[in-house]
């Protein structure tokens, strides 16, 4: 009986560790339409609703508990995107030579339009790990979408920034905007948003000769915010792209088991995965291992990898 008690106690302890580990840390996503992770925050943080699509762990009262009023939309599986299900053109997946029509009006997206398609995305690049990820994607024959920044881990004026963005594009990946400095667009004026977008797209244009039409808003915010929507439309953007599967690498150190868990929870839906080219404690080996696990799990689940152009059926560039 003593042995059994110890076993049960050990299992209970492991279970508690897993639940705590899955809760988001500082500034992690903790809810929103289509969110597949744990709707809770670690101790010292509380889950605060930013908008329909995104809730975030912010400093506040004790964490670790569900914040149901912020996460009512988690199981809606992004049905709001059904009205966007126009047929996709099955053209090549080379981001450098788009045959897709240009979008006509800005919309927010969290999933692809066709069943059993999956778009792998990376935020916050370029970084020192970009070459390693690009090497892996080439080896696995996967085309991803990179939402790049101008002044976070690598400055837009550095030779490596341009080299890496050019490599992304030349190897058939889509290059989108994650803004210049990763500010929450809902906290900026109309002109500040325009400036954020223009500074980044000028650098992208110098590197690849095209301006992005796709962007990812920092923190996933801005949907329904008229100021943000108007500014992005005026800047020529046709798609603001969030996600419906978040492995939470930025808050759990790239936990492979957790990534597999949230991927498998979303099985059967069109998927956009959120990944980061750098996060606290990231190593090249860790980022590569997580990417391999995601790719292998998605392919084993029967998904077809697609670029964001194929995912949405529209051109990635203005």
- Extents of the domains making up the chain: 18-70, 79-85+95-312
- pLDDT tens-place string over residues 55-73: 656 555 444 333 333 333 3
Task: Report residue 139 as tokens.
Answer: 């080896």
Q: Mark residue 138 as left, alpha or beta (left: phi above 0; alpha: psi -120 to 50; beta: remaining).
A: alpha
Which architecture does CATH list for 79-85+95-312?
Answer: Alpha-Beta Barrel (3.20)
How far, in Å, CA of 180 to CA of 73, rounded?
Answer: 30
How far, in Å, CA of 264 to CA of 266, rounded?
Answer: 5
Catalytic residues: 123, 276
**Burial annotation 3-22 (CB, 10 A radius, 16+ → b, else e):** eeeeeeeeeeeeeeeeeebb
- pLDDT tens-place string over residues 241-287: 999 999 999 999 999 999 999 999 999 999 999 999 999 899 999 99
Nearest partner of 165 among 148, 180, 182, judged by Cα = 148
- pLDDT tens-place string over residues 100-149: 888 778 999 999 999 999 999 999 999 999 999 999 999 999 999 999 99
Task: Report residue 187 as tokens.
Answer: 């906290």
Helix H segments across the chain? 2-22, 130-140, 159-170, 190-208, 226-234, 249-252, 256-265, 284-300, 308-312
Confidence of residue 23 (pLDDT cuts 50, 70, 90): low
**305 Cβ contact list (under 8 Å, min separation 6):** 117, 118, 119, 120, 142, 143, 295, 298, 299
> Residue 163 in 3-state DSSP?
helix
Say whether pLDDT at 150 is over 90: yes
Question: Pairing between strand 54-59 and 45-51?
Answer: antiparallel
Measure CA of the first residue to CA of the last residue in the chain; give whole Å: 69
Q: Which of 71-85, 88-102, 180-194 is most confident?
A: 180-194
């Amino acid at each position: 009986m003593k042995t059994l008690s110890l076993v049960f106690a050990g299992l209970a302890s492991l279970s508690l560790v897993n639940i705590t580990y899955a809760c988001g840390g500082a500034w992690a996503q903790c809810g929103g339409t289509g969110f597949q992770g744990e709707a809770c925050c670690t101790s010292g943080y509380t889950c605060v609703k930013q908008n329909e699509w995104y809730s975030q762990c912010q400093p506040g009262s004790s964490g670790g508990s569900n914040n149901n009023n912020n996460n009512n939309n988690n199981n809606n599986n992004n049905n709001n995107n059904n009205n966007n299900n126009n047929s996709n053109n099955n053209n090549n997946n080379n981001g450098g030579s788009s045959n897709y029509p240009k979008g006509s009006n800005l919309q927010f997206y969290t999933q692809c339009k066709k069943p059993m398609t999956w778009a792998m995305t990376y935020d916050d690049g370029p970084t020192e790990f970009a070459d390693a990820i690009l090497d892996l994607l080439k080896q696995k024959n996967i085309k991803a979408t990179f939402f790049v920044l101008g002044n976070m881990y690598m400055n837009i004026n550095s030779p490596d920034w341009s080299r890496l963005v050019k490599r992304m594009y030349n190897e058939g990946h889509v290059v989108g905007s994650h803004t210049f400095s990763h500010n929450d667009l809902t906290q900026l004026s109309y002109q500040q948003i325009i400036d954020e977008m223009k500074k980044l797209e000028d650098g992208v244009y110098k590197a690849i000769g095209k301006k992005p039409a796709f962007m990812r808003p920092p923190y996933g915010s801005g949907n329904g915010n008229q100021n943000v929507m108007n500014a992005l439309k005026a800047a020529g953007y046709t798609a603001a792209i969030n996600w419906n599967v978040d492995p939470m690498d930025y808050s759990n150190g790239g936990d492979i088991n957790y990534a597999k868990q949230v991927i498998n929870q979303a099985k059967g839906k069109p998927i956009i995965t959120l990944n980061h080219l750098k996060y606290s404690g990231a190593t090249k080996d860790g980022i590569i291992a997580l990417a391999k696990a995601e790719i292998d799990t998605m392919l084993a689940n029967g998904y077809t990898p697609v670029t964001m152009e194929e995912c949405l059926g529209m051109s990635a560039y203005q």
